Amino acid sequence: MRMLMTGAILAELDDLASEFDLLGDWEERYRYVIDLGRSLAPLSETERSDANKVRGCASQVWLVTEPGPGGVLGFRGDSDAHIVRGLIAILLRLYSGRRPDEILAFDARAAFDRLGLKAALSAQRSNGLFSMVERIRRDAEAARARA
Amino acid sequence: MTFDPADIRAQFPILSRQVNGRPLVYLDSAASAQKPRAVIDAMVRTTETSYANVHRGLHTLANETTEAFEGARESVRRLINAETTAQVIFTKGATDAINLVASSFGLSLVAGDEIVLSEMEHHSNIVPWHFLRERKGVVLKFIPVLDDGSLDMEAFQALLGPKTRLVAVSHMSNVLGTINPARAIVEMAHAVGAQVLLDGCQAIVHAEIDVQALDVDFYAFSGHKLYGPTGIGVLYGKAERLAALPPYQGGGEMIGSVALDAITYADPPHRFEAGTPPIIEAIGLGAAAEWVMSLDREAVMAHEHGLYRRIKERLNGANWLTEIGTAPGKGAIFAFNVAGAHAHDIAQILDRYGVAVRAGTHCAEPLMRRFGVTSTARASFALYNTLEEADAFADALSRAQTFFA
């Protein structure tokens, strides 16, 4: 099934894809992901709460959802693992500041495939990222229902 | 009895595959071990040639399968030197075996009775006892773990008392590799009239187990860590202990007779094996037991220790590395953290190099807390691993570390 991807989010994916196109083998890609994670603003201790925790196993993942102007949803996230934090940085670039319908129309798995990070969004519970996408989509659905 | 590592390795079909374009280096055997050809063949052969339901069948296939199934029980009996096959109960796994004891033995407990566990237990040897704490007011006490990963035996002595009904501890830690002094634990527990359950999931893979010499009341282990299939495990119990235990689950196979207003139960082991058992899996476990018994187990242990020593030598002086669990005589399990990286990061990078390790809490959250960490990575060695693989692991880990330096 081909998902409908709207302008802004797709443009961001294009930007990410061109950044990743400059990278060579998987080692460079992983190093870049780790760097993206390092540049992500960490959540505060209070934001790293159980309520904001997304279920993972090996590493911990937190997500904060904040409604923004014009019905968009803002997201901030964090993890105690570097690679996961880098992948979160990518997810946030794609999802944060978008309208719920844009979020729900977006196929994150296909996007990660395009970036050559296919394994990152596996449905394994050890990887909190998959659950993070689910939580983002749930929050978007709830916001759409309220609108 | 022989042990030739190269010959052993050739018996494991899966070990010749590649991962991410590199030869697989499988260092996650403490979670689940790969299966040798002998186990795979035994399961396929039974499925293809003589499969039927076991017991009470009057036709040829039923008789053949029953013979193979009960033959597997005899193989396991010999593996652990149990007195009789009636003391070898097939369960779904070690978790199921421990739940069986918690459920059936637990019926005799009252509020204030004490169960002694340890800080290094796997959740499967903690949670079933928490049920008894929640449901019956049983008091749980935990033997502390010393800094090197060994049990604080003095503290253990102090925890024992007239209210201690059961001591349930791991024979070998799935994280630290510590081999606990089982015989001493049993003696100390028996001295206060308490029974002992040993979680032998790891120990049975690496050492010869003699339940009679240990004088242990219950011994639990799973099949899939012992080069056998998943879905099958064993609970050994002393004859008088099992005779006193009420049934666990109800169903077919476990009854003497059933009427509308009364019921009698079968004797052990069948009293504890309600329903159609995992037949093929039991036969697979029997094959695994026979296969393991055909090996020179001292040579196996020496080989595994050699692998552990090799990575210790190769990583000696790495100031970015912290090992958890350094007890004398420990088994070939290497739990570690890399400075500046999460265990999850390390496992993900190692996977890219074809090296399979585990990362997380290893179902031992109290132990993680004891060592002040949220998780560790863990490389666990088995008899099919080689010195070249130990080197490949050390090289991959040293390279993975540079990502986070």
Q: What is the CATH number of the domain that holds B61?
A: 3.40.640.10
Report how far apart the first and last C-alpha atoms of chain B are (Å, whole number): 47
Show the beta-strand stretches assigned E in B93-194.
114-118, 139-143, 164-170
On whether any CB of chain A is under 8 Å from the CB of B349, the answer is: yes
Q: Give, in degrees to the nearest 5, the angle at Cα B167 between B163 and B170.
A: 160
Residue B208 structure tokens: 């010869």
3-state secondary structure of B291: helix
Residues sharing a CB contact under 8 Å with residue A135, sequence separation 6 or more, in sequence order: A54, A63, A65
Catalytic residue (choose from A4, A17, A57, A58): A57
A30 in contact with chain B, both atoms CB, cutoff 8 A: yes
Q: What is the mean pLDDT of chain B?
A: 96
Sorting pLDDT into bands at 50, 70 and 90, what band is A2? very low
pLDDT at A122: 59
Residue A123 has a pLDDT of 53
Residue B292's contacts (CB-CB under 8 Å, 6 or more residues apart) are B79, B226, B227
B331 and B269 fall within a common domain = no
Average pLDDT over residues A38-60: 87
Chain A residues closer than 8 Å to B375 by CB: 58-59
d(CA B234, CA B285): 10
Is residue B185 included in any domain, yes or no? Answer: yes
- Tell me: cis bond preceding B269? Omega within 30 of 0 counts: yes
Please state which of the ranges A53-62, B210-219, B274-283, B289-298 shows the lowest mean pLDDT: A53-62
pLDDT in tens, B328-356: 999 999 999 999 999 999 999 999 999 99
One domain, residues B326 and B276: no
The answer on pLDDT for B118 being more than 60 is yes
Residue B12 lies in a domain: no
B377 touches chain A (CB under 8 A): no
pLDDT band with cut points at 50, 70 and 90 for residue B56: confident
* Contact check, Cβ <8 Å, A126/B360: yes
pLDDT at residue A56 is higher than 90: no
B31 in any annotated domain: no
On whether both B227 and B158 belong to a single domain, the answer is yes
Q: Is the same domain home to B48 and B171?
A: yes
Of the two residues A14 and A7, the one the predictor is more confident about is A14
Judging contacts by C-beta atoms under 8 Å, the chain B residues touching residue A26 are: 20, 352
Interhelix angle B127-136/B94-104, rounded to 10 degrees, is 20
The answer to whether the Cβ–Cβ distance between A83 and B343 falls below 8 Å is: no
A57 is catalytic: yes
Q: Are B232 and B221 in contact (CB under 8 A)?
A: no
Q: What are the chain A neighbours of B359 within 8 Å (beta carbons)? A: 58, 126
If asked whether residues B221 and B348 sit together in one domain, one would say no
Determine whether the interchain pair B344/A59 forms a contact, defined as Cβ–Cβ distance below 8 Å. Answer: yes
Of B244, B261, B293, which one is at a domain's C-terminal end? B293
Domain boundary among B278, B293, B308: B293
Q: Which of residues 86-125 of A touch B (CB under 8 A)?
A: none
Share of chain B above pLDDT 90, in %: 95
Judged against a pLDDT cut of 50, whether residue A3 lies above it is answered with no
Backbone angles phi, psi at A65, to 5 degrees: -110, 130
Give strand ranges (E) for B31-113.
88-91
Q: What is the ipTM of this complex?
A: 0.84
| pTM of the predicted model as reported, rounded to 2 decimal places | 0.93
Same domain (yes/no): B240, B327: no
Residue B149 shares a structural domain with residue B272: yes
Contact assignment for B352 to A26 by CB distance below 8 Å = yes
Residue B330 structural domain: 296-401
Could you tell me if B339 lies within 8 Å of chain A, comparing CB atoms?
no
Instruction: Based on the fold, state whether residues B229 and B90 are members of the same structural domain.
Output: yes
Which among A57, A79, A84 is the nearest to B360, CB-wise? A57
Question: Do residues B336 and B283 share a domain?
Answer: no
**Residue in A closest to B358 by C-alpha:** A58
Report the gap between the CA of A85 and the closest CA in chain B (Å).
10
Residues of A whose CB is below 8 A from B374: 60, 80
Tell me what the mean pLDDT of segment B280-294 comes to: 98
For residues A132 and A77, the answer to whether their CB atoms sit within 8 Å is: yes
Q: In chain A, what are the domains?
A: 7-146 (3.90.1010.10)
The answer to whether A34 faces chain B, any CB pair under 8 Å, is: yes
Q: How many CB pairs under 8 A join A and B?
A: 49
**CATH number of the domain encompassing residue B348:** 3.90.1150.10
Contacts of B403 in chain A (CB under 8 A): 27, 30-31, 34, 82
Closest alpha carbon to B177 in B328, B319, B314, B298:
B328
Share of chain B above pLDDT 70, in %: 100
Q: Which of B10, B146, B363, B387 is catalytic?
A: B363
B186 and B316 in a single domain? The answer is no
- Tell me if B124 is assigned to some domain: yes
B289 touches chain A (CB under 8 A): no
pLDDT the model gives residue A6? 62
Q: What is the mean pLDDT of residues B252-264?
A: 89
CB contact under 8 A, A34 and B403: yes
**What is the CB-side half-sphere exposure of residue A52 using CA atoms within 13 A?**
18
Q: For residue B224, give the nearest of B197, B198, B207, B201 by alpha carbon.
A: B201
Looking at A106-120, B226-240, B372-386, which range is the least confident one? A106-120
Inter-chain touch A81–B349, beta carbons under 8 Å: no
Q: How far is B136 from chain A (nearest CA, A)?
A: 30
Mutation target among B22, B123, B345 for the A interface, most CBs of A within 10 A:
B345
If you measure CA to CA, which chain B residue comes closest to A58? B360
A81 touches chain B (CB under 8 A): yes
The whole-angstrom separation of Cα B233 and Cα B255 is 21
Residues B138 and B171 in one domain: yes
- At residue A59, the pLDDT reads 78
Query: Which pLDDT does position A121 carry in this prediction?
Result: 58
- Do B308 and B283 fall within a single domain? no
Is the pLDDT at A145 greater than 80? The verdict is yes
The whole-angstrom separation of Cα B250 and Cα B259 is 14
Which tens digit of pLDDT belongs to each residue from A62-103? Answer: 999 999 998 999 999 999 999 989 999 999 999 999 999 999
CB-based contact A30 B403, cutoff 8 Å = yes
| pLDDT number for residue B134 | 98
Residues in B closer than 8 angstroms to A121, CB to CB, are none
Question: Nearest C-alpha of chain A: how many angstroms from B346?
Answer: 9
Check if the beta carbon of residue B160 is closer than 8 Å to that of residue B116. Answer: yes
Candidates A60, A83, A126; nearest CB to B345 = A83
Each residue's pLDDT tens digit, B66-109? 999 999 999 999 999 999 999 999 999 999 999 999 999 999 99
Cβ B360–A81 below 8 Å, yes or no?
A: no
Q: What percent of chain A has pLDDT over 90?
A: 61
Q: A23 CB near a chain B CB, below 8 Å? A: no
Count: domains in chain B: 2
Mean pLDDT of B141-169: 98
pLDDT at A124: 58
For residues A18 and A115, what is the distance between their CA atoms, to the nearest angstrom? 9
